[in-house]
């Protein structure tokens, strides 16, 4: 299980990432990685049992800190894939940051994807999971034949549903 955390959402995120013994990498590279370290999106590989997970769910759930996903790809492959849609372009070809890792943005975006967009966004990812507008529920999205499939899971049933 992985998570992309948006450290711009809360100053505690970057501080915790720096102090924790977890596998983590910024989605930014080069100068941006250094200059925006405290507000960058971070890819984190979650371990089954880790104090970081408890801290994350206790503090971040319901606060739009990030999105979770499952994949068998390596961290390097995932970083490369997830970087491909950090930047989008408007009608005048001006570059814009796409903060897809914000669950408030991503859950709306995924519901509107066509097949080509879904293939791009999912790539090596089996499913995405994030808080619903109502944080008592988790939304899980996966690739369907012609549209993204979606399941709304009560928080009390998350562990059972993710098996």
pLDDT value of residue 158: 61
Instruction: Report how far residue 109's alpha carbon sits from residue 90's, in angstroms, rounded to the nearest whole number.
Output: 16
Residue 162 has pLDDT above 70, yes or no: no
Q: What is the mean pLDDT of residues 35-46?
A: 92
pLDDT value of residue 155: 87
86-116 pLDDT tens trace? 998 999 999 999 999 999 999 999 888 888 8
Q: What is the mean pLDDT of residues 47-68?
A: 92
Listed residue (55, 30, 44, 41) closest to 2, CA to CA: 44
Domain ranges of the chain: 2-161
């Amino acid at each position: 299980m992985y998570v992309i955390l948006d450290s711009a959402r809360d100053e505690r995120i970057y501080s915790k990432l720096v102090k924790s013994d977890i596998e983590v990498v910024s989605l930014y590279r080069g100068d941006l990685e250094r200059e925006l370290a405290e507000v960058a999106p971070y890819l984190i590989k979650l371990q089954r049992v880790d104090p970081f997970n408890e801290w994350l769910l206790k503090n971040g759930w319901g606060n739009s800190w990030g999105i979770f996903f499952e994949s068998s790809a390596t961290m390097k492959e995932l970083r490369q894939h997830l970087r491909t849609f950090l930047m989008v372009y408007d009608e005048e070809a001006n570059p814009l940051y796409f903060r897809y890792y914000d669950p408030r943005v991503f859950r709306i975006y995924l519901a509107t994807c066509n097949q080509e967009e879904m293939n791009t966004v999912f790539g090596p990812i089996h499913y995405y999971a994030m808080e619903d507008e109502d944080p008592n529920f988790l939304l899980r999205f996966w690739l369907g034949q012609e549209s993204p499939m979606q399941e709304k899971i009560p928080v009390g049933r998350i562990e059972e549903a993710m098996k």
